Amino acid sequence: MSKFLAASIGRKFLMSITGLFLVAFIAVHLIINLMLIFDDSGELFNLAAHFMATNPVIKIMEPLLGLGFLIHILWSFYLEYQNWRARPVKYNKKDASTSSTWASRNMLVLGALVLVFLIIHIINFFWVIKFEPHTLDTVIIGGEEMEDTYTLVSNLFKGSVAYCIFYILGGLLLGFHLSHGFWSAFQTLGINNNHWMKRWHVLGYIYAVIVAVGFSVIPLYFLIKF
Amino acid sequence: MADKILKKLNIKVWRQKNAASKGKFETYTIENISTGSSFLEMMDILNNELIEKGIDPIAFDHDCREGICGTCSLYINGRPHGPDTEVTTCQLHMRKFKDGETITVEPWRAAAFPVIKDLVVDRTAFEKILQAGGFISVNTGGVPDANAIPVAYEDAEEAMDAAACIGCGACVAACKNSSAMLFVSAKVSHLAKLPQGKVEAKKRALNMVAKMDELGFGGCTNTGACEVECPKSISITNIARLNREYLGARLSK
């Protein structure tokens, strides 16, 4: 294992696997979130959030997800440092935009900005729901008492234009990160050839747009409607 | 129609006495260059003028000047082999430049390619990677009958496309991480696609990647810049194949 992670391709394998794990998580997260805008009474979202908080499968996945995030983030800084060291003397004049996309060259910058968003996002919601549930109101849906997470989320967006814009930016940044990250993960795993090159790119762009639009549309909805 | 003449050009070029010295940019002015001349011919003319002035001529690599040997290099105006696609520097023509322009000429920049003098870098690292596994050592016997070993058309084509690599190092120069993955993947692919090369495919992938890492090349982040700047347009699908070969070989060991 240590030999595998010492090799450049082994190191990239770890980035790719954790990245795809996070891609799957984001899809689930987006589906749950979209319930915020399809039911203004908040019942649908509260039920979904309650299900996610109590479901045994999700409970097992939660620490794994934390680990996935940690590895993907910390490892990326280490790899970027190594790549940076491979060119001790930099070029005086560079014309990089003719041969590669901006996102592909700035995955660490995009990732770091998503990380800033992630930290504030966790403080806003996850922390409160997980460790300070007593500060939340409760609602009774279908005879079961549960935390009113809908009010927690909707109040943040209704009460602050700044937060709405911040969350829209967060969604867009994640989209840009995925516009390169999605297909790149499959390339690193070796699951690519002449036929699949275009397909992975198209699928990656579609997924990136769905994520960027999907997450941005929620704060936008609260911004416009309330 | 006669070629146009570029009346005046400023050539901003990296000068470095030897591997140990620090090096710096010098700007030289050159006049009346035909747009029909190649970039290296322009460098020759400039060097003649420098010699007449008693200045040490600029050292740069060149050999066949037909775009097939992989000896010439140069990072011109921010791009390996300059502002044209699918050409080596010797096949780059001055018609790609404007009159009065300042052209910046730098050597390949990578920890694994140290500068020897001016624009000449030491690309022995590529030879070392090849020595680690870029060959076939199994006994393949005498010349077989033409169709005795069936090879699919697509496999033959992909192997030939990968074998087009001339080992110039533009992929390393273009890569933001100075990664040699395109070079190594081309060398692994053109052998792995054919029956004789398949025998040692696993060992080859493991050894060549290990050598590549040891020599200080960076990791691949799939920007795709190498494929665009490669004078032979080697596809990055070869990198996917190398990843596949390597991961498979690791798993089975």
Spatial distance between the Cα atoms of B116 and B172, rounded to a whole number of angstroms: 17
Joined together, the tokens standing for residue A71 give 């590895």
Joined together, the tokens standing for residue B200 give 């040692």
The domain ranges of chain A are 2-86+103-225
Mean pLDDT, chain B, whole residue set:
96
Q: Report pTM.
A: 0.95
Pick from A16, A191, A4, A11: which is nearest to B253 by CA?
A4
Q: Which of A9, A88, A100 sits opposite B246 (nearest CB)?
A: A9
Question: Which tens digit of pLDDT belongs to each residue from A171-210?
Answer: 999 999 999 999 999 999 999 999 999 999 999 999 999 9
Joined together, the tokens standing for residue A116 give 């800033």
Partner-chain contact B242 A9, CB within 8 Å: yes
Q: Which of B83, B216, B224 sits opposite A86 (nearest CB)?
A: B216
Spatial distance between the Cα atoms of A86 and B184, rounded to a whole number of angstroms: 16
pLDDT score of A109 more than 80: yes
Please name the amino acid found at residue B122: D
Partner-chain contact A192 B210, CB within 8 Å: no
Question: Which tens digit of pLDDT belongs to each residue from B132-166?
Answer: 999 999 887 888 888 888 999 999 999 999 999 99
Pick from B243, B66, B59: which is nearest to B166 by CA?
B66
Joined together, the tokens standing for residue B160 give 């030939």
Give me the DSSP letters along B118-187. TTEE--HHHHHHHHTT-S--S---SPPPTTTS---HHHHHHHHHHHT-----HHHHHSTT-B-HHHHHHH
The CATH homologous superfamily to which domain B124-251 belongs is Alpha-helical ferredoxin (1.10.1060.10)
Partner-chain contact A96 B244, CB within 8 Å: no
What are phi and psi for residue B42, nearest 5 degrees?
A: -60, -40
Q: What pLDDT does residue B1 have? A: 58
Spatial distance between the Cα atoms of B214 and B111, rounded to a whole number of angstroms: 11
Gyration radius of chain A's alpha carbons? 20
Share of residues in chain A with pLDDT > 70 (%): 100
Mean pLDDT, chain A, whole residue set:
95
The domain ranges of chain B are 5-106, 124-251
Tell me the pLDDT band of B60, cut-offs 50, 70 and 90: very high
CATH class of residue range A2-86+103-225: mainly alpha
Burial of B159 (0-12, 13-18, 19+ CB in 10 A): middle
Least CA distance to B104: which residue of chain A?
A93
Q: Which of B115, B204, B221 to mutate to test the interface with A (most CBs of A within 10 A)?
A: B221
| Beta-strand pair B102-106/B79-80 | unpaired
Share of residues in chain B with pLDDT > 90 (%): 93
Joined together, the tokens standing for residue A118 give 């992630």
For residue A61, the distance in angstroms to the closest alpha carbon of chain B comes to: 26
Strand partners, B105: B13, B76
What does CATH list as the number for B5-106?
3.10.20.30
Strand partners, B26: B13
Question: Which tens digit of pLDDT belongs to each residue from B40-52?
Answer: 999 999 999 999 9
- Residue A134 is given by DSSP the state G
Question: Which tens digit of pLDDT belongs to each residue from A4-59?
Answer: 999 999 999 999 999 999 999 999 999 999 999 999 999 999 999 999 999 999 99
